[in-house]
């Protein structure tokens, strides 16, 4: 069987892959749809999938200015967890973790979800107090989280240096149900499944304007591939959300920053879990390809450049080498940046915008990959019913007007 597939692969390679079927169609945009989603990342594609699958809206299109997954979905370090402080957040992120657990089956596409455990280190007494507060709050909300001593942390991740280092490890919070998934498989899996339900996925189609009628309601968009009409538009454009929403005169409380990550040369499996250090702004896991996946904090300055300062990654690497001395001689292969959209309380915005027919899903900052299925699921509900799902009702734009902030700066962890 193995021999057969290697031969088949060879044959396809030599024949220009003519026998491979495209996983989704590449249709020309129609003049009009029942709904449009701007942004072909995991959140936008997932939203289209749930709109079609759960709400029967199949005459819809996803408009992506580049290729699908070319934004933060394809740039992130894939850490998935739900150990946020407030019950509203724990409920939203845990909704996502539960959907992750069956996503490969749901989409019939292997998204390689691996619940290998996410361990967040504490290096100071203050870190310990914050981490224990999260452990207690999560357990009260029915979300798994546990406190480990330094020795227990090392037993869970044997490469961890708990000796006398610049950043002593005083303990760790461990969410065993946390882990990783394959980022672009999430975009591809949702795209293929949405396409099969009739959703048009239109790549290389940048939205340049949002059209509105005399009452202010949306009527369509102007794109690099022409005008497309629709009475409902959902925006899932991550770091570009402010730019897109300004096309409809909507100002959002968002700031966009570069966030960087890097990968090493591939090595055999050595690293069994995910480790994050919020104080040091560094985190690490090993991909199934064998690369160490390492992330850093955000730049201190707002920017749309998709690349950050080199001092940020070198700081993260110094810290990683102290925590895991075994990696000192590893060579880094490449690094990159994405633009993350950060709200004042470090929680997302999912809801209506004040412009009839225009909905937004944004503000995930450094941590929206983990939320992809849950966020897409409740955003689809919001667009289909013109009202929030119970899980995203606390995350609408009105909370900034009413002062009902959900301050997750400590749980958002990296960067903020």
Residues that bind ligand PYC (CB under 6 A): 77, 79, 81, 283, 295, 366-367, 370, 413-414
CB of 122 to ligand FAD, least distance (A): 19
CB of 297 to ligand PYC, least distance (A): 9
> Exactly one of 24, 37, 42, 389 binds ligand FAD (CB under 6 A); which one?
42
Q: Binders of ligand FAD among 327-356, rule CB under 6 A? A: 338, 340
CB of 77 to ligand FAD, least distance (A): 4
CB of 242 to ligand FAD, least distance (A): 10
- Going edge to edge, which strands form the sheet with 60-63? 200-202, 60-63, 35-38, 233-235, 358-362, 349-352
* Cβ(42)–Cβ(186) below 8 Å: yes
φ, ψ of residue 260 to 5 degrees: the values are -115, 160
CB of 111 to ligand PYC, least distance (A): 17
Q: Does 295 bind ligand FAD (CB under 6 A)?
A: yes
* Cβ(56)–Cβ(35) below 8 Å: no
> Exactly one of 96, 157, 236, 415 binds ligand FAD (CB under 6 A); which one?
236
Q: Does 76 bind ligand FAD (CB under 6 A)?
A: yes
Q: Which DSSP state fits 305?
A: S
Smaller CB separation from ligand FAD, 121 or 261: 261
Q: Which DSSP state fits 238?
A: G
Max CA distance (Å), the chain: 68
List C-alpha distances in Å: 62 to 92, 155, 230.
Answer: 24, 46, 12
From CA 416, how far away is CA 363, in angstroms rounded?
13
Q: Within 13 Å and on the Cβ side, how many CA atoms surround 365? A: 26
Helix, strand or coil, per DSSP, at residue 128: helix
From CA 238, how far away is CA 158, in angstroms rounded?
36
The binder of 178, among ligand PYC, ligand FAD, none, by C-beta within 5 to 8 A per type, is none
Q: Does 50 bind ligand FAD (CB under 6 A)?
A: no
CB of 77 to ligand PYC, least distance (A): 5
Smaller CB separation from ligand FAD, 144 or 366: 366
How many residues sit close enough to ligand FAD to count as binding (CB under 6 A)?
39
* Cβ(116)–Cβ(180) below 8 Å: yes
Q: Could you tell me whether strands 282-286 and 171-175 are parallel, antiparallel, or unpaired per DSSP bridges?
A: unpaired
> Exactly one of 39, 117, 178, 179 binds ligand FAD (CB under 6 A); which one?
39
Q: Does 389 bind ligand FAD (CB under 6 A)?
A: no
Smaller CB separation from ligand FAD, 162 or 317: 317
From CA 206, how far away is CA 357, in angstroms rounded?
20
Q: Binders of ligand FAD among 118-137, rule CB under 6 A? A: none
The binder of 41, among ligand FAD, ligand PYC, none, by C-beta within 5 to 8 A per type, is ligand FAD
Q: Within 13 Å and on the Cβ side, how many CA atoms surround 299? A: 23
Site of tokens 């997750």: 408
> Exactly one of 48, 77, 114, 177 binds ligand FAD (CB under 6 A); which one?
77
Smaller CB separation from ligand PYC, 223 or 278: 278
Q: Which residues of this protein are in contact with ligand FAD, per CB under 6 A?
A: 38-44, 63-66, 70-73, 75-79, 206-207, 236-238, 240, 244, 259-261, 295, 338, 340, 364, 366-370
């Amino acid at each position: 069987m193995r021999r057969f597939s290697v031969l088949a692969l060879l044959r396809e390679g030599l024949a220009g892959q003519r026998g491979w079927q495209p996983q989704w169609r590449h249709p020309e945009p129609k003049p009009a749809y029942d709904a449009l989603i701007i942004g072909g990342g995991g959140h936008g594609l997932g939203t289209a999938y749930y709109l079609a699958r759960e709400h029967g809206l199949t005459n819809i299109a996803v408009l992506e200015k580049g290729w699908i997954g070319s934004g933060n979905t394809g740039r992130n370090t894939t850490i998935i967890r739900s150990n946020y402080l407030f019950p509203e957040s724990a409920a939203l992120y845990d909704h996502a973790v539960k959907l992750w657990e069956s996503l490969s089956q749901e989409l019939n596409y292997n998204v390689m979800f691996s619940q290998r455990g996410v361990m967040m280190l504490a290096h100071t007494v203050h870190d310990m107090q914050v981490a224990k507060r999260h452990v207690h709050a999560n357990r009260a909300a029915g979300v798994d989280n546990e406190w480990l001593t330094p020795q227990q942390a090392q037993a869970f991740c044997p490469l961890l240096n708990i000796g006398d280092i610049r950043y002593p490890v005083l303990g760790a919070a461990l969410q065993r149900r946390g882990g990783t998934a394959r980022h672009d498989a999430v975009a591809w899996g949702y795209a293929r499944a949405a396409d099969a339900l009739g959703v048009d996925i239109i790549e290389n189609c940048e939205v340049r304007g949002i059209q509105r009628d005399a009452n202010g309601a949306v009527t369509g968009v102007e794109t690099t591939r022409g005008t497309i009409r629709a009475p409902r538009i959902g925006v899932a454009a991550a770091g570009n959300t402010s730019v897109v929403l300004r096309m409809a005169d909507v100002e959002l409380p968002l700031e966009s920053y570069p966030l960087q990550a890097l990968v090493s040369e591939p090595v055999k499996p050595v690293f069994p879990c995910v480790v994050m250090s919020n104080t040091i702004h560094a985190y690490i896991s090993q991909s199934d390809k064998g690369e160490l996946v390492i992330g850093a904090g955000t730049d201190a300055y707002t920017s749309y450049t998709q690349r950050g300062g080199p001092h940020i990654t070198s700081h993260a690497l110094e810290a990683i080498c102290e925590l895991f001395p075994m990696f000192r001689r590893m060579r880094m292969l490449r690094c990159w940046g994405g633009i993350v959209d950060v709200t004042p309380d470090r929680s997302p915005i999912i809801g209506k915008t004040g412009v009839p027919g225009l909905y937004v899903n944004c503000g995930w900052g450094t941590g929206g990959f983990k939320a992809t299925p849950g966020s897409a699921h409740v955003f689809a509900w919001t667009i289909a019913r013109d009202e929030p799902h119970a899980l995203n009702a606390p995350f609408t734009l009105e909370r900034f007007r009413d002062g009902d902030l959900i301050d997750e700066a400590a749980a958002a962890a990296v960067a903020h």
